[in-house]
Amino acid sequence: MTLNTVEVEKNLASELIKKINEKTAVIGVVGLGYVGLPLAVENAKAGYQVIGFDVHTEKIEKINRGINYIGDVNDEELAELIEANQFIATEDYSLIKNVDAVVICVPTPLDVHKQADTSYVETATKEISNYLHKGMLIVLESTTYPGTTEEVLKPILEQPGLSCGKDFFLAYSPERVDPGNKTFKTSNTPKVVGGMTESCTEVAVTMYKNVLEADIHEVSSPAVAEMEKILENTFRNINIGLANEMAILCNKMGIDVWEVIDAAATKPYGFMPFYPGPGLGGHCIPIDPWYLTWKAREYNYHTKLIESAGEINNAMPEYVINRSMQLLNKKGKALNGSNILVFGVAYKKDIDDYRESPAIPILEMLDEMGANWKVVDPYVNHFELNGSSYTTENDITEQMLKTADLVLIITNHSKLEYKLIAEKANLIFDTRNSFSVDMETKGNYFKL
């Protein structure tokens, strides 16, 4: 008796679902960064044998020695999983042949022309396709434009002569991890999953149900899941753009924008507070909307709202410099030659990631204007600026505060000693509303 295509697909899907439910499936995670490492750890904790793949030799060595480098991963948990051989890391893609399901978490940056750069996803997929075997599940988690799973991954994976949905299963499930978030982690954040076929969705959903505590929300296609992720981050980008525009106008009108937002937030429906700041940062909010803008051009559509918000948000570092100049000017000082003590190079509070941080263009402009700057950041020890490496100060001293012409708060890390700063600094420009009201009394404190 020969089986028809649908029966073959169903059989392969049932076999994989059985392996996943019995925890005999081997899970691969490609890209062991902020997204991939926590996910690999969750899979291993759920009882799966996990193989992590990365191209960064130093990361592989660290993991295999049980050394953690991601804030949201528990050091002891990782060490125990490595010790127990439940999780190993490797650069050797040939181990994909032992893997039943693989999740791709590689970077999706923009190129210099603000166009989607899917080259990491393509490279990783090609490596996987070399060892792809029947009955395997591939899930893309990297944030990307709608259509990537179908238009980029599927053709590469089908090259060895295997057919998507029939011989292997393919799905997209966006990662929503919010580094530094104390409440929502990889395991308890609801997950959206969309497969190329019903079986693809079913297999991927089974995997996540076995690993995560959170609800799994199925959608009808990878494109829906890809688009919903971009919607989430575009929603944040645009609302932060609105908050920034309000901040600029409120400053001109002598109104405290933070008080305005707090007042608006008392409305129990129809309003959600977003806050202004020195500019967007991180690997998601400043980047993801441009993936959509880029894709929209293929459909002859101009994403006006996204681009307006982008313009406002991208101009915030320059706005911070202009306000700093005005504040120094009132004290009879120029930015040129002034000592600026910058607090925070990380893109948001209590994390060690400075990718796309607004602190970088701000420091570049301070350099261009001839200011002398020093950075205090208890989370980021070193950072790169224009090809040079800089070391930050971890602690604040009274002397540092007294000798600074301006203290510029870019990142409101909880660990910073705000009381000491308020007491000893000559002039403070706070882009994050970091100080409590009773600290703001000396007349030398200014907010965005």
Rounded to whole angstroms, the Cα distance separating 252 from 243 reads 14
Contact residue for ligand NAD among 34, 145, 172, 319 (CB under 6 A): 34
Phi-psi region of 114 (alpha: psi -120 to 50; beta: other; left: phi over 0): left
How many chain residues touch ligand NAD (CB under 6 A)? 27
Helix, coil or strand: residue 28: strand
Give the number of other CB atoms < 10 A from CB of residue 246: 18
Residue whose tokens read 């609801």: 190
- Shortest approach of ligand NAD to residue 148 CB, angstroms? 10
Is 74 a binding residue for ligand NAD by CB under 6 A? The answer is: no
Nearer to ligand NAD, 173 or 338 (CB): 173
Interface mask toward ligand NAD for 42-61; x: CB under 6 A: -----------xxxx--x--
Instruction: Check: CB of residue 216 under 8 Å from CB of residue 193.
Output: yes
Which residue's CB comes closest to ligand NAD? Answer: 33
Nearer to ligand NAD, 30 or 325 (CB): 30
Nearer to ligand NAD, 144 or 199 (CB): 144
Is 222 a binding residue for ligand NAD by CB under 6 A? The answer is: no
**Residue 333: what residue type?**
K
Contact residue for ligand NAD among 17, 25, 35, 223 (CB under 6 A): 35
Nearer to ligand NAD, 118 or 199 (CB): 118
Nearer to ligand NAD, 74 or 426 (CB): 74
Residue list 141-170, contact with ligand NAD (CB under 6 A): 142-143
Is 108 a binding residue for ligand NAD by CB under 6 A? The answer is: yes
Is 284 a binding residue for ligand NAD by CB under 6 A? The answer is: yes
Instruction: Check: CB of residue 382 under 8 Å from CB of residue 392.
Output: yes
Instruction: Check: CB of residue 193 under 8 Å from CB of residue 225.
Output: yes
Catalytic-residue membership of 164: no
Rounded to whole angstroms, the Cα distance separating 411 from 442 reads 22
Short-list 243, 404, 248, CA closest to 318: 248
Is 177 a binding residue for ligand NAD by CB under 6 A? The answer is: yes
Nearer to ligand NAD, 100 or 356 (CB): 356
Q: Which of the following is catalytic: 164, 200, 250, 284?
A: 284
Residue whose tokens read 């002569």: 161
Q: What is the dihedral of CA 403, 408, 411, 414, to 10 degrees?
A: 50
Rounded to whole angstroms, the Cα distance separating 344 from 352 reads 10
Is 179 a binding residue for ligand NAD by CB under 6 A? The answer is: yes
- Shortest approach of ligand NAD to residue 32 CB, angstroms? 5
Rounded to whole angstroms, the Cα distance separating 266 from 151 reads 45
Is 33 a binding residue for ligand NAD by CB under 6 A? The answer is: yes
Rounded to whole angstroms, the Cα distance separating 363 from 329 reads 19
The residues of the shown chain that bind ligand NAD, judged by CB under 6 A, are: 30-36, 53-56, 59, 105-108, 120, 123-124, 142-143, 175-177, 179, 283-284
